[in-house]
Amino acid sequence: MKGDWFKRFSDGGKLYLNDESFQPALSAIKEDLPTYLEYIREGDKVLEAACGPGYTAIPLSHYFKVTGFDRDVKVLDAARQNGEKYGKDVEFVEADFFDIVKAFGKNSFDAVSSGGVLEHFPKDKIKTLLDLQLEVAPIVFAQMPLFTKEQVEGVNQFGIETHHYTKKDYLEDIFKGYNILEHRTLEKRPVFGRFREFMAVIGR
Ligand SMILES: C[S@@+](CC[C@H](N)C(=O)[O-])C[C@H]1O[C@@H](n2cnc3c(N)ncnc32)[C@H](O)[C@@H]1O
């Protein structure tokens, strides 16, 4: 996934959590908690993939033992500061998504989750990343915004590429052949703006 994420977060005022931004992030996780708890238990080990400043990893750490990883050290530095302020059981590690088996080991977590990450990769890369996540943990929670075609700019001013994938693309193409345990559309997600999100739970 190309692009200057640090600049994107800092220019957008999204690098550091505050009370105003943390509360909706926590509410979003509370809303999703019943889904997580269908597959893992409270206190289980969750790897939060390409965690950014920790908008998902940090609220998740109120319920699970979370390791967030990202390849951008400046973003990770912000995530650590956010974690100290708002996290519970959370650590942040520098790693590349494509190296997670090497970095963390096979079967090292109970689940891998990601939010707002997979739609930045081409379809073949998403499949590679799913295979890697399923080596690291038996359950994958994946959340992707369902942008409209107009909201997807291709490559934006930060060099970040976003793909316009529909729910049908995920179910009938990208995730085809995978063990989709559950999927649903979340009507509104308040953290990075208002758009629908698609969540899929994938098992081995
Ligand atoms: C949309 S942000 C993730 C936001 C995050 N889910 C949250 O809830 O705060 C995408 C992140 O992916 C990271 N990233 C991009 N490519 C990566 C890779 N190959 N390995 C690890 N992290 C990567 C970027 O540095 C960026 O922080």
Measured in Å, residue 94 CA sits from the centre of ligand 1 at 11
Structure confidence at residue 190 as a pLDDT band (50, 70, 90):
low
Category of 65 on φ-ψ map: left (φ > 0), alpha (ψ -120 to 50) or beta: beta
How many domains does the chain contain in total? 1
Measured in Å, residue 52 CA sits from the centre of ligand 1 at 5
* 125, burial (CB in 10 Å: exposed 0-12, middle 13-18, buried 19+): middle
Structure-model confidence comparison of residues 34 and 192, the more confident one: 34
Pocket test for ligand 1, best of 51, 93, 197 (most atoms within 8 A of CB): 51
* 12, burial (CB in 10 Å: exposed 0-12, middle 13-18, buried 19+): exposed
How confident is the model at residue 118, as a pLDDT?
Answer: 95
- Yes or no: say if 162 and 201 are a contact pair by the CB < 8 Å rule: no
d(Cα 146, Cα 156) in Å, to the nearest integer?
17
* Entry pTM: 0.95
d(Cα 73, Cα 77) in Å, to the nearest integer?
6
Sign of CA pseudo-dihedral 40, 182, 95, 14: negative
- For 146-158, how does the pLDDT look when each residue is reduced to its tens digit (9 = 90+)? 877 777 767 888 8
CATH of the domain at 85: 3.40.50.150
Q: Determine the structural domain holding residue 9 and report its residue range.
A: 5-203
DSSP structure class, residue 68:
E
Q: Is the CB of residue 163 below 6 angstroms from any atom belonging to ligand 1?
A: no
Chain mean pLDDT for the chain: 92
Q: What is the mean pLDDT of residues 165-174?
A: 95
How confident is the model at residue 194, as a pLDDT?
Answer: 53
Pocket test for ligand 1, best of 9, 56, 71, 195 (most atoms within 8 A of CB): 71
**Residue 47 clears pLDDT 90, i.e. is over it:** yes
- For 65-80, how does the pLDDT look when each residue is reduced to its tens digit (9 = 90+)? 999 999 999 999 999 9
